[in-house]
Each structure stands twice: as C-alpha cells, then as structure tokens.
Amino acid sequence: MRWIFYSLFVINLVYLGLQLAKSLTEPARVVSIQLPEMEGGAPLALLSEQAQSRRVVRKAVSSGSLCPVIGPWENQDAARAGVVQLQAAGVSAKVRALAIEKDRLSWVYLPPFESRDRALVVLQELQDRGVDSFIVKDGEDANAISLGYFSSAESAEGLRVKMRNAGYPAFVRETSKTVTEYWAYLLDPNAIDKPEVKVFLEANQSLKLDRVSCN
C-alpha cells in the first residue's frame, strides 16, 4: 500500500509543475471594467484632462476683449467736456470712473501700543537714538509708531532688520493711495484709427490712449 501512496504523491507533483509552467507561458489577459455612470452626473475624466481643461478656461478668461479708452481726467466735469469734444468730432464715447491705486510705498512701523503714554516713551527712546519717527494719532493704527515710507522695498526691509536688531519689533506693510480717475470709453473699437482721435490727443497732451477690459 505504501508504494501506491508514493505513486500518487509523485503524480500530483508532476501535475502541479505542468500547471505552473503553463500559467507562466500564457500571455496576461487584460480585464476591461466598465464603470457605471452616475445618474445626473458628468462622465469621468482623467486628472490630466481636467488640468488641461482648466488651462483652456484660464487662457480664455485672460484673453478677454479690450476696449480703447482716453484719459485720465481728474474730475468728472472735465471728462464730460472731453467726451463732448470727441462726439462733436464724430467719435462716440462715454465717461467711466475708475479707482486707481497710486503712490505705492513700503511703510516701516512699530505696531500700536496699548496706550499713548507707552507709545510716547518708545518714541522718545527712538528720537534719542536719532531715529526719525512719529506716533500715528488715529485710525486702526492709532498709537503705532511710524518709522518711514520707502519707494524701495529693499530699503524698507533694511530698516526693519536694523530696528529688530536694536530690539524694536518693526514691521513692513505696503501702502497706497486710492484716487478716482475719469476715462472716456470709445464705443467703437475701431475709432482709434480715426484721424479725429489723433487730432484730439495732440490737442490734449496730458491725455493718453490706452486699452482696458471692456467689463
């Protein structure tokens, strides 16, 4: 009986070896899985396709139409008078007010102190050191100490580092002044090619022709 057991064991080993060799030689099969669409939802898309779609949208937005404008005037009455002149020359236009940020500067300052008395003490210390400074009297920065305004960000940063090294927690903030300018929007985009526009600009040297978003 023992030889029968060993014979069956050897046959099983041979069969297992044949099956293993067959599985290694057969080409791998690719299984295709059909994903169901979500009801009412959008079809699935690759992340790379989604990124490309976003780039196309951004490009379309950034390349929006531009309208020709003439200006700026400092007040609305002067702008309206300019529009009247343009219309008399056959150029249709209308006045629009634009809020423009000007005089962008880097402000170096010490943040507001808990009281004006404490700010006065620190101010005296700074002035004794020869630091040009003053206390902000009102607004959200009341009791702060101004150390100066700089058109160069590098100069402002240099002063900030210098004050910190001296033991004063100075900061830098970008500031600007918002002013209202008035511009004449030309209703016909092709009007810039008219000789009347050139004559108007030559007669008003302080104005310029520009293009801005039509929106």
Report the alpha-carbon distance of residue 83 to residue 78 in Å, rounded: 9
The single-letter code of the amino acid at 26 is E
Superfamily of domain 64-101+179-213: ACT domain (3.30.70.260)
- Sequence ranges of the domains in the chain: 64-101+179-213, 102-177
* Beta-bridge partners for 134: 146
Superfamily of domain 102-177: Sporulation related repeat (3.30.70.1070)
- The one-digit pLDDT tens for each residue of the chain (215 residues) are 555 555 555 555 555 555 545 544 444 443 333 433 433 333 333 333 344 433 433 333 344 578 899 999 989 999 999 999 999 999 999 999 988 877 789 999 999 999 999 999 999 999 999 999 999 998 899 999 999 999 999 999 999 999 999 999 999 999 987 888 999 999 988 888 889 999 999 999 999 999 887 76
Fold: same for 64-101+179-213 and 102-177 = yes
Residue 173 contacts residue 107 (beta carbons within 8 Å): yes
Report the alpha-carbon distance of residue 102 to residue 180 in Å, rounded: 10
